[in-house]
Amino acid sequence: MTTTSSTASLGAFTGTAQPTPHRFERAVAAPAAVVVPTVPIPAAPPPRAHSGTWGRRLVQRARRAPISLWLAWGVLALVALWAVAPGAFTSYSATVGVAGQQLQAPSAAHWLGTDALGRDGYARLVFGAVHSLSGAFLAVAVGLVLGTLLGVLAGSIGGWVEDVIMRTVDVLLSVPSLLLSLSIIIILGFGTLNAAVAVGVASVASFARLTRSEVVRVRRSDYVEAAFGSGGRFGAVLWRHVLPNSLTSVIAMAALQFGSAILSISTLGFLGYGAPPPTPEWGLLIAEGRNYISTAWWLTTVPGLVVVAVVLAANRISAALTKGRA
Amino acid sequence: MFIKYLANRTGQALLVLWAAFTASFVLLQLLPGDAILIKFLNPELGLGPQEIADIRAAYGADTSVWQQYQHTLLGFLSGNFGYSVQAGVPVSQGLATNLPPTLRLAGLGSAAALLLAVLLAFASQLTRWGWLRSALQSLPSLFISVPVFWLGIMLIQVVSFRLGWIPVINPGKWQGLVLPTLTLAIPIAAPLAQILIRNIDEVLTQPFVAVARAKGATRQWVLWKHVARNAVLPTLTIAGVLFGELLAGAVVTEAVFGLNGLGSLTQQAVGNQDTAVLQAVVVVSATAFVFINLVVDLLYPVFDPRLRSRLGT
């Protein structure tokens, strides 16, 4: 029985790729938004050690990836392109409508129809990508940086620092994240940036909890003991061994949080706390289309489907990161 | 032993509650964005500085921070949640009128969610066709990715406008609750179903399942008699988290369907920067979360005899 732990860490160092998961396993792979994976999985190798073969391993993994993963990356790439160069995808304006073309159903001229002001639905969707994506990125960045910092501090220092941080995390987790976001927004005021920060702050607690548990797990492993044993100083061991090995599941969670940040930001936009009206933010598009659901179904249906596609893609990638880890 | 455990857990719960109150007080009452100034500094009201100072004194906003904190804490302990500056009525009054409809919606929603999740999890286990099984098992990850407000709008669009099953204007009392309940239930059923499916798969690998099957029990019998109880119990532990989701879902659902309740109260409070109302909502929801988790922790040994021996009762 004593050999199990050493073989586990050995397997992690050789970086053997796991076989493609079974069909059923993949179907349930996306973890629930509220559940942090609890199964201890062998740690991934430090990324720098294999930098020479990194490109080749990426190609191998890409060839073995299931089609749903390809699709997920495709969706995210398309939406990212929308955000970077919206003008390349549509010649219509997102904010100025064409007179006499109000509330038209989808057609060859207007792929996704027009709204009550004659604005092209597809153009508004394309130009809205940058608001939703940059908001989600900012939210994840806030949660990731603050949460990881708190988690690493709690996990590595221990003692009363850990107690204070983790009790604070408990308190933050006891308030539903939407209410927490609203509490931040009520102080900061409305706006795209403030909504993103509010969503980010609401996710700090879960990042901190996951990072702490990972740091505590890695700290107990043999190679960290060995690093300390061979004379490594606290800060150096933390930076070189503990942090890289703790980050893998944190990154997977960041991908998951990216999806839920898109959801939260569109919810805040729908409630009217995000971007102000002429902005084509996705949640706001749905809110504006709400007044026409009996006559113009395309105004609400399509932006919602885009949100669902992006969130599904982010969750799929997160599931692959959690499972693959090779 | 059990008494010690009980006291320990209750003490922890009270500590978290006190911290939640203090954090929300610091965040919502001390930081800039003063609700009183927002309402009364309005130039149309034409109030002088002296009058505003009087109003602030009437609301107790001129006393020291420490006094305000003590006053608010004592108020919350005695069920007095302060005054809503915008509405001009006690917050507790707003809570009393808005809590019952939200509780009814949340109760219906969680019951429907539980039903949906159990049906989905067991149907996917009992089906003999692989494609149906994987389709059923991938449904939860789809539903988790759907924005709640969009789901509500889609349901109105399809059920009310296309199919004409439920009138949009003046539906019956219970008829009008069907779509909000579904809107609330589906996103909450998703994580529940995922956990149930995972737990069932885990329990099915246990030796006692193999023994039961070897003795000649059918798949259905094993699932109901041996697996169900073991798989359903662990989902209790996420009851508190799901309650939070339920509350957040209620805020959005009430906004979509134009219902009165805690959600619309919260939405108005944020719109008017009425911090006292929002703090009351935050503290009430934190209380419910902590209470649910405490009850689950205390009830768990009752449902699971294996834990009882560990606690020594």
pLDDT digits (tens, 9 = 90+) for B90-125: 777 777 778 888 888 888 888 898 888 888 888 888
Of A55-64, A165-174, B155-164, B178-187, least confident by mean pLDDT is A55-64
What is the per-residue pLDDT across B158-203, written as a single tens digit (0 to 9) for each? 877 777 777 767 766 777 788 888 888 888 888 888 888 888 888 8
| Helices B91-126 and B262-271, packing angle to 10 deg | 120
Residues 186-205 of A with CB under 8 A from B: 186-187, 189
The whole-angstrom distance between B225's CA and the closest CA on chain A is: 24
Mean pLDDT rounded to a whole number for chain B = 78
- Mark yes or no for CB contact B289/A34 under 8 Å: no
* Residues in chain A within 8 Å Cβ distance of B146: 304, 308, 311
pLDDT in tens, A298-324: 778 888 888 888 888 888 888 878 775
The DSSP call for residue A120 is B
Q: Which residues of B touch A315 (CB under 8 A)?
A: 141, 144-145
Distance from CA of B311 to the nearest CA of A (A): 23
On chain A, the residues whose CB falls within 8 A of the CB of B140 are 28, 32
pTM equals 0.77
Query: Hey, what amino acid is at B311?
Result: L
Best of A34, A281, A317 to substitute, by most chain B Cβ atoms within 10 angstroms, is A34
Name chain A contacts of B188, Cβ cutoff 8 Å: none
Of residues B278, B281, B290, nearest to A174 (C-beta): B290
In chain B, which residues have pLDDT < 70?
1, 29-49, 52-53, 55-64, 81, 83, 85-88, 168, 171-172, 307-313
Q: Kindly report, residue by residue over A4-46, the tens digit of the pLDDT.
A: 333 333 333 333 334 444 433 333 334 444 444 444 444 554 4
- pLDDT (average), residues A148-170: 84
Instruction: Look at residues A126, A82, A121 and name the one whose alpha carbon lies nearest to residue A299.
Output: A121
Q: Do B286 and A290 touch (CB under 8 A)?
A: no
Mind giving me the DSSP string for chain B?
-HHHHHHHHHHHHHHHHHHHHHHHHIIIIISS--HHHHHH--GGG---HHHHHHHHHHHTTTS-HHHHHHHHHHHHHTT---B-TTT-SBHHHHHHHHHHHHHHHHHHHHHHHHHHHHHHHHHHHH---HHHHHHHHHHHHHHHTS-HHHHHHHHIIIIIIIS--S-SSS--TTHHHHHHHHHHHHHHHHHHHHHHHHHHHHHHTSHHHHHHHHTT--HHHHIIIIIHHHHHGGGGGGHHHHHHHHHHHHHHHHHHHT--SHHHHHHHHHHTT-HHHHHHHHHHHHHHHHHHHHHHHHHHHHH-HHHHHHHT-
Q: What is the pLDDT of residue A94?
A: 65
Instruction: Give the ipTM.
Output: 0.79
Put simply, the answer to whether B289 touches A175 (Cβ < 8 Å) is yes
| A71 and chain B in contact, CB less than 8 A | no
Task: Measure CB to CB from residue B245 to each of A34, A182, A189 and give the nearest one.
Answer: A34
- The 10 Å CB-count burial string (b at 16+, else e) for A230-242 is eebeeeebbeebb
What is the average per-residue pLDDT within A244-264? 84
Q: Is the pLDDT score of A108 beyond 80?
A: no
